Copies of this chain bind each other. A is one copy, B any other.
Amino acid sequence: MTASNRVTIRDVAKRAGVSVATVSRVLGGEYPVLAATRNKVVRAVRELDYVPNAHARALSAARPGAIAIVVNSVAVPYYALIAQGVEEQAAQEGRLSLICTTGGDTGRELSIVRLLREQRAEAVILVGSVVVDDEYRERMTEYAHALAAAGSRLVLCGRPPLGEGVPALVVGFDNTGGAHAVTAHLLSAGHRRILYLGLRPGHTTSDSRVAGYRAALAEHGVPADPDLEVEAEFDREAGYAAMRRRLAAGPPSFTAVFAGNDLVAAGAIQALREHGLRVPDDISIVGYDDVPPAQDLDLTTVHLPHDELGRTAVRLALGRLTPGPPSSGPMDGAGSARVLTLGTHIVVRGSVRRLGPR
């Protein structure tokens, strides 16, 4: 790489027979360039083994410029959209990015973090709901110290912060606030019997949403009813199966459903339809996340700033942002410094009917 770094953009321009500005435009990829011109430049870059400055650090032997994001699965839109935000910001900062998936397996997560530490990734961004227990805190604390020792930064995204003194940065979103708002939206439309579909005791994401749901009910003087809190994993199949079971057990004792996320909502809507119940005429429903199925289902939901979560994680890792003061955000289990919380908001579509005389 040392030799190739001596090649300059001027050499490339000369070889391609175009101006330096044109080379810059082609490499930047932001302006329209004629295909023939683009090809000439790309060929010259290859022939001279030219490394554009923006990528030079990422390509150096120690590879300090790579930013890695570790998620359960890219087939889940929540993860894919955050990963996309990470990659866009990384590209803008001249870094290459890698996505690694664990399939939810702690052993694979451990292998991946070790590999990234060995490769001296500039930052490792861990995303997603977890069961916060002593084992989890211990594991994350160890990752943070091991990565810091190798010159890498650990960023937790959508996960609760660790204790004081642990070298980890945290970016989250107002999970509880979004759940509160969307429940209040159903209450304002006259609904009093609201089924929460997606209970997962111990999982941070669902726990925060249930907390927002219960708080909104309490504020409106509606007693919480354990019979209206139903367990379901956060995917389409689980939402479908849980709603089918509920409907098979007897006529619905609810007029509205708050699904733990949009995938759960999609499954629940399918089960409602198969049972001859129309949305929103017979049953109202809201979701959470605002990922693709929501638009096609005309589903009222809570918008998560996926792209901004990914971008913020990169900016935090590169020291472009200063995280808030200790205990700043409404993240569960907060109480440590270095937390940045992004807002959520409702997207109103057509899946909620107003009840009552109006």
Question: Which A residues are within 8 Å of any B CB, using their own CB?
Answer: 26-27, 29, 35, 38-39, 42-43, 45-46, 52, 55, 58-59, 61, 63, 66, 73-75, 77, 80-81, 83-84, 87-88, 91, 96-101, 103, 105-108, 110-112, 114-115, 118-119, 131, 133-135, 138-139, 142, 266, 269-270, 292-293, 295-297
Contacts and interface: CB of A to CB of B under 8 A. Distances in A.
A236 B292 CA distance: 10
- Which of A43, A101, A112, A270 gathers most chain B CB within 10 Å? A101
**Nearest 9 interchain pairs by C-beta:** A99-B99, A39-B135, A29-B105, A75-B84, A74-B74, A74-B80, A55-B111, A98-B98, A75-B80
B29 A107 contact: yes
A112 B51 CA distance: 12
Q: How many copies of this protein are present in the complex? A: 2
B84 A74 contact: yes
B101 A97 contact: yes
Contacts of A27: 107
A100 B99 contact: yes
Contact of A99 (B38, B81, B98): B98
B107 A59 contact: no
B296 A58 contact: no
Nearest to A111: B55
Nearest to A46: B142
A274 B292 CA distance: 19
Contacts of A106: 29, 38, 42
